[in-house]
């Protein structure tokens, strides 16, 4: 990576230049860069931001002399992250997962997927029609949270899926656990399939040597990166990166592509058409401009910014650990099953020693000092810190509010020993997620759902691993487990009835998508 080259922001500059010269904007959007906009919007966003809302296919920005500023910026992003090619995404890392699924489906119909993948990965299975073999992540029996997939678990799942066209894993997790991506890549490549890493939470990892190594550097073939999460581009902007080892051009699964042989593991052109299919024809220039700027910030100043943030968070962790009843997740997790390394940009607080759950503490922190967390569960609260937060006044606010909260709720001497009941195994996959999602379906009382095929997901928190996914047969054991988790104060995601009085199931032999929806 050349720092000098990375100083530039060709796309953002081209947007600014267009707005500066006040061209005749005889194109969309109808606000015309400001004059047609509601005054309240102009006041809220500022005239300058609205003037930079410029559509795609504008000469000198993303069409015209090649490489266009847009192409140059995507190339700079590829260089910064060490990718063969990078795509800017305007529908988040969710779009990256959808595109990854559609790209993989060019090569065949089976795929190995980490069970606690993000819901957008499950959506990708629905869109692509891929048949998943799920591989279980390691569950931390003390904290009641899911960590990463081990190489051993991936090997087993791939061995059970001889036709698999890819292996799809998540690293880091919401809680900061980082997988042994190098070992996972070796396993996938040993079976001749690409490794897709959902690194939504790890866009910053490439920019500081004290952070765990990022997935592209460890042999991943396709990496989904939620640039907005920690690196700090605007919400909804993200990137998809193709690894250098992934393969050449080619239509993926088409004659001449080489499939998983000579042409590489996943074709660049295949990914390109999948990105196009999942993208609006009107990508937002502010989102793309923010990606260009965030890439520069990360490439040029990331090391310094991350160094400062890590130091401040290390201090905050010490202060939290000094509060009776609280602990933090940190590098001590590394080495536990499913945790190869720890990403310190999350401040995850273990609250098992106090007399309140994470569900109770989160609203209390809001009440005490307007503290708004990224995530909270029974045992762990997660505060997220951005790459460029200077001085971290928020960390001090969090520490102070935690101190007050613990004083109010008191300690729970038995809490840290609370054990976590492992969920029952997931049911047999009776049809693909796509068939279940699009097939005829009906809503039935939960008691009558046993033995039926689910048309929706049920994922209890803790630990956030889906108990049921569309296409799987519902078992009495699983439904009882979900009910029990709800009774204990947990929650279930994906369910159309969050109290699980009813479940949406497939009408077997029901044919088309015409039954009660």
Which residues contact ligand PLP (rule: CB under 6 A)? 92-94, 97, 118, 120, 170, 174, 198, 200-201, 226, 238
Distance separating alpha carbons of residues 457 and 500, to the nearest angstrom: 12
Least separation in angstroms between residue 435's CB and ligand PLP is 24
Measured from the CB atom, the residue of 14 and 218 that comes closer to ligand PLP is 218
Q: Which residue is nearest to ligand PLP (CB)?
A: 92
- Kindly report the backbone phi and psi dihedral angles of residue 453, in degrees, each rounded to the nearest multiple of 5, phi listed first: -95, 130
Measured from the CB atom, the residue of 200 and 431 that comes closer to ligand PLP is 200
Structure tokens of 36?
């047609």
Distance separating alpha carbons of residues 400 and 349, to the nearest angstrom: 14
CA distances from 167 to 119, 196, 205, 386 (A): 17, 6, 21, 29
Least separation in angstroms between residue 94's CB and ligand PLP is 3
Largest CA distance in the chain: 70
Distance separating alpha carbons of residues 137 and 338, to the nearest angstrom: 7
Measured from the CB atom, the residue of 87 and 481 that comes closer to ligand PLP is 87
Distance separating alpha carbons of residues 307 and 42, to the nearest angstrom: 37
Least separation in angstroms between residue 215's CB and ligand PLP is 12
Measured from the CB atom, the residue of 72 and 95 that comes closer to ligand PLP is 95
Reduce the DSSP state of residue 380 to 3 states and report it: strand
Decide if 297 contacts 232 (C-beta within 8 A).
yes
Measured from the CB atom, the residue of 92 and 219 that comes closer to ligand PLP is 92
Measured from the CB atom, the residue of 170 and 454 that comes closer to ligand PLP is 170
Least separation in angstroms between residue 174's CB and ligand PLP is 6
Measured from the CB atom, the residue of 118 and 434 that comes closer to ligand PLP is 118
Least separation in angstroms between residue 222's CB and ligand PLP is 13
Least separation in angstroms between residue 229's CB and ligand PLP is 7
Least separation in angstroms between residue 305's CB and ligand PLP is 21
Measured from the CB atom, the residue of 97 and 441 that comes closer to ligand PLP is 97
What is the bridge-based pairing of β-strands 164-170 and 110-114? parallel
Measured from the CB atom, the residue of 173 and 441 that comes closer to ligand PLP is 173
- Residue pointed to by tokens 């029990």: 484
- Kindly report the backbone phi and psi dihedral angles of residue 44, in degrees, each rounded to the nearest multiple of 5, phi listed first: -70, -45
- With vertex at residue 385, the alpha carbon angle to CA 382 and CA 391, rounded to the nearest 5 degrees, is 130
Least separation in angstroms between residue 346's CB and ligand PLP is 12
- With vertex at residue 243, the alpha carbon angle to CA 237 and CA 248, rounded to the nearest 5 degrees, is 115
Phi-psi region of 170 (alpha: psi -120 to 50; beta: other; left: phi over 0): beta
Distance separating alpha carbons of residues 128 and 103, to the nearest angstrom: 9
Least separation in angstroms between residue 340's CB and ligand PLP is 16
- Kindly report the backbone phi and psi dihedral angles of residue 101, in degrees, each rounded to the nearest multiple of 5, phi listed first: -65, -45
């Amino acid at each position: 990576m050349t720092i000098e080259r990375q100083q530039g922001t060709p796309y953002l500059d081209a947007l600014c230049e267009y707005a500066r010269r006040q061209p005749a904007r005889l194109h969309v959007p109808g606000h015309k860069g400001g004059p047609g906009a509601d005054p309240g919007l102009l006041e809220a966003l500022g005239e300058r931001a609205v003037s930079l809302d410029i559509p795609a296919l504008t000469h000198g920005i993303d069409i015209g002399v090649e490489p266009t500023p847009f192409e140059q910026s995507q190339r700079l992003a590829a260089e910064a992250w060490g990718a063969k090619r990078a795509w800017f995404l305007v529908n988040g890392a969710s779009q990256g997962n959808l595109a990854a699924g559609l790209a993989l489906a060019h090569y065949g119909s089976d795929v190995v997927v980490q069970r606690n993948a993000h819901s957008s990965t499950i959506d990708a299975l629905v869109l692509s029609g891929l048949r998943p073999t799920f591989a279980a992540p390691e569950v931390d029996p003390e904290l009641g949270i899911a960590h990463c997939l081990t190489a051993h678990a991936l090997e087993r799942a791939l061995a059970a899926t001889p036709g698999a066209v890819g292996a799809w894993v998540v690293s880091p997790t919401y809680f900061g656990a980082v997988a042994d991506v190098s070992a996972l890549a070796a396993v996938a490549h040993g079976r001749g399939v690409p490794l897709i890493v959902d690194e939504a939470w790890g866009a910053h990892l490439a920019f500081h040597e004290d952070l765990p190594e990022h997935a592209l550097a460890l042999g991943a073939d396709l990496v989904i990166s939620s640039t907005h999460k920690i690196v700090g581009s605007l919400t909804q902007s993200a990137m998809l990166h193709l690894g250098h080892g992934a393969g050449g051009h080619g239509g993926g699964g088409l004659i001449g592509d080489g499939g998983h042989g000579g042409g590489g593991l996943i074709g660049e052109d295949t990914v390109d058409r999948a990105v196009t299919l999942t993208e609006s024809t009107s990508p937002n220039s502010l989102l793309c401009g923010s990606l260009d700027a965030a890439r520069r910030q990360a490439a040029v100043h990331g090391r310094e910014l991350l160094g400062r943030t890590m130091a401040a968070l290390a201090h905050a962790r010490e202060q939290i650990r000094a509060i009776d009843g609280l602990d933090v997740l940190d590098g001590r997790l590394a080495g536990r099953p499913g945790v190869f390394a720890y990403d310190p940009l999350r401040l995850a607080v273990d609250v098992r020693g106090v007399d309140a759950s994470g569900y109770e503490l989160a609203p209390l922190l809001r009440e005490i000092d307007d503290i708004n967390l990224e995530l909270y569960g029974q045992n762990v609260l997660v505060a997220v810190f951005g790459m460029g937060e200077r001085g971290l006044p928020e960390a001090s606010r969090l520490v102070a509010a935690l101190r007050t909260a613990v004083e109010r709720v008191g300690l729970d001497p038995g809490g840290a020993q609370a054990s976590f009941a492992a969920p029952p195994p997931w049911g047999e996959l009776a049809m693909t997620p796509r068939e279940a999602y699009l097939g005829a379906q009906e809503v039935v009382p939960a008691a009558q759902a046993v033995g039926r095929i689910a048309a929706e997901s049920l994922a209890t928190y803790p630990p956030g691993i889906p108990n049921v996914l569309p296409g799987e047969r519902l078992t009495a054991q699983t439904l009882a487990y979900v009910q029990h988790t709800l009774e204990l104060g947990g929650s279930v995601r994906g369910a159309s009835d969050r109290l699980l009085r009813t479940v949406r199931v497939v009408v077997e032999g029901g044919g088309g998508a015409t039954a009660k929806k």
